[in-house]
């Protein structure tokens, strides 16, 4: 069965599974769906692993700053234009925007997710590349310890969250 067709067929089950994981890893989804899922850097590897096991691919990563007094003090965080309040402290998340790069999977992989049949192994390999990017970017000269990744899940466009931080 085609990737998106399978997701649509099992929508309630998969959405529940995804949202249980988002809650478990204290992720902060910015909108009402499954893109821009801000996740603490140190929890993102495990979340990606579990998302892979659930059979869901990740197609992009953007960077956000976790603006907190602690990060300002310890890492000299220069960001902070305001944004959604985080759930862990009295800080908030701020989009760092075009100063930082974003990551997207290859166009051929994207198109295959849109229209093709995708094996479990292919999903694991796509998501592994996403994690490799996140890990490698932490060695980039522009990386700052206050940065945290946001994951974009490849799910049907019409999907809205059904329980976790529902808006």
- What residues make contact with Zn ion under the rule CB under 5 A? 65, 77, 79, 146
163: closest CA among 15, 13, 10? 15
Cα distance between residue 91 and residue 138, in whole Å: 22
Shortest approach of Zn ion to residue 142 CB, angstroms? 12
Residue with smaller CB distance to Zn ion, 132 or 138? 138
Rounded distance between C-alpha atoms, residue 100 and residue 140, angstroms: 11
Question: Are the beta carbons of 162 and 15 closer than 8 angstroms?
Answer: yes
Q: Whole-number minimum distance, CB 147 to Zn ion, in Å?
A: 7
Report the residue number, 79 or 154, with the smaller CB distance to Zn ion.
79
Choose between 78 and 156: whose C-beta lies nearer to Zn ion. 78
CB of 84 to Zn ion, least distance (A): 15
DSSP labels, 96-150 = -GGGS--EE--HHHHHHHHHS---HHHHHHHHHHHHHHHHHHTTSTT--TTEEEE
Of residues 3 and 92, the one with the C-beta less far from Zn ion: 92
Whether the Cβ atoms of residue 34 and residue 150 lie closer than 8 Å to each other: no
Q: How far is the CB of 96 from Zn ion (least distance, A)?
A: 7
**CB-nearer residue toward Zn ion: 76 or 156:** 76
CB of 99 to Zn ion, least distance (A): 11
């Amino acid at each position: 069965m085609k990737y998106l067709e399978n997701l649509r067929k099992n929508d309630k089950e998969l959405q529940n599974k995804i949202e249980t994981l988002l809650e478990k890893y204290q992720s902060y989804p910015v909108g009402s769906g499954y893109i821009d899922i801000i996740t603490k850097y140190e929890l993102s590897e495990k979340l990606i692993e579990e998302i892979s096991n659930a059979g869901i691919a990740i197609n992009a990563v953007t960077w956000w700053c976790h603006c907190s007094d602690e990060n300002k003090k310890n890492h000299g965080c220069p960001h902070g234009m305001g944004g959604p309040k985080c759930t862990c402290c009295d800080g908030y998340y701020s989009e760092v925007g075009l100063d930082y790069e974003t990551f997207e999977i290859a166009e051929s992989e994207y198109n295959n997710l849109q229209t093709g049949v995708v094996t479990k192994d292919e999903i694991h390999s796509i998501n592994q590349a996403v994690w490799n990017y996140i890990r490698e970017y932490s060695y980039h000269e522009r990386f700052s310890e206050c940065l945290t990744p946001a994951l974009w899940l490849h799910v049907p466009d019409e999907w809205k969250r059904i329980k976790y931080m529902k808006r």
